[in-house]
């Protein structure tokens, strides 16, 4: 995937694009992330890229001309353009999956009080938010978007299945994890995880994920247990009898009444 990022602060991206998982994917040619400084396209001798808003109001607004120059520099016409904005659609699993299928993306980072609307209209920018709160600029949200999308691109993660097994993508929050030593300061790793019975381990992880999801994300929990009796394209149940038993036990009365007679 080729990603062009247009920003007033390209240096903020170096730790993300150079190191860790993203950096390794760039080194292997799986990701091509290019940073463009919007100030480089300012016609102002001080490289200003903002001015006071028409109609009054606090703060400054990013001017159209420098952004247009940066967009033309990366040949953004006809490409998918994302503007990181608190008024945009929330970045969720569905949107991350959609974006991960693209081969080409332009991410525009706003700053100050926002962007001249003519930029968004002309370049047909899609506005995306990472949450119902305000940040000082679009750089951090852009990093979140890049990281979340990159994880689903084949070859980025060492384990191809790990992204889909993790919290949210599996439909449940992730179960607790443990590693060496088996006992630390009187706290022991659950015995089932060290017993070698893979079926019991799977059921333990399912139960723990269900309990956590029911407590913290009841919306996801209800959606997950509604699939209790679903079947795949060949008519086979997606959950076996033991899995359905675990689901019923965690769901309690919430699910038992709906599953009777099925």
> Tokens 């333990």 map to which residue?
204
Contacts of 220 (CB under 8 A, 6+ apart): 168, 171, 172, 173, 213
Please give the pLDDT value at position 27.
92
C-alpha span between 240 and 46 (Å, rounded):
67
Contacts of 226 (CB under 8 A, 6+ apart): none
How high is the mean pLDDT in each 10-residue block of the chain (262 residues)? 97 88 92 97 90 88 96 97 95 95 97 92 97 93 96 79 52 91 94 95 95 94 94 92 96 55 44
Contacts of 29 (CB under 8 A, 6+ apart): none
Please give the pLDDT value at position 254.
53
Please give the pLDDT value at position 56.
84
Task: Decide if 157 contacts 148 (C-beta within 8 A).
Answer: no
CB atoms within 10 A of CB 243: 16
Please give the pLDDT value at position 260.
43
Predicted structure pTM score: 0.79
Phi/psi at 34 (5° precision): -120, 130
155-163: long-range contacts (C-beta < 8 A, 24 or more apart)?
155/25, 155/28, 155/30, 156/21, 156/22, 156/25, 156/30, 156/31, 157/21
Please give the pLDDT value at position 59.
87
Distances (CA, A) of 15 to 143, 162, 252, 259: 10, 23, 46, 50
């Amino acid at each position: 995937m080729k990603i062009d990022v247009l920003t007033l602060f390209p240096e903020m991206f170096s730790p993300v694009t150079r190191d860790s998982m993203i950096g390794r994917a760039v080194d292997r040619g799986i990701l091509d992330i290019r940073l463009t400084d919007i100030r480089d396209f300012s016609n102002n001798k001080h490289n200003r890229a903002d001015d006071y808003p028409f109609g009054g109001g606090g703060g400054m607004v990013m001017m159209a001309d420098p952004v247009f120059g940066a967009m033309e520099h990366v040949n953004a016409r006809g490409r998918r353009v994302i503007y990181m904005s608190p008024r945009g659609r929330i970045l969720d699993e569905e949107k991350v999956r959609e974006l991960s299928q693209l081969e080409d993306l332009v991410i525009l980072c706003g700053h100050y009080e926002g962007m001249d609307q003519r930029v968004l209209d002309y370049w047909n920018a899609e506005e995306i938010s990472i949450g119902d709160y305000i940040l000082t600029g679009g750089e951090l949200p852009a990093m979140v978007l890049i990281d979340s999308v990159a994880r689903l691109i084949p070859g980025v993660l060492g384990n191809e299945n790990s992204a889909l097994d993790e919290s949210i993508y599996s439909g449940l929050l992730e179960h607790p994890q443990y590693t060496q030593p088996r006992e630390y300061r009187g706290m022991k790793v659950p015995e089932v995880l060290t017993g070698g019975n893979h079926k019991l381990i799977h059921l333990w992880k399912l139960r723990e994920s269900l309990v956590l999801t029911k407590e913290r994300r009841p919306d996801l929990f209800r959606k997950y247990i509604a699939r209790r009796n679903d079947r795949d394209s060949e008519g086979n149940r997606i959950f076996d009898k033991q899995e359905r038993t675990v689901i019923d036990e965690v769901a309690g009365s919430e699910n038992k009444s709906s599953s009777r007679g099925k």
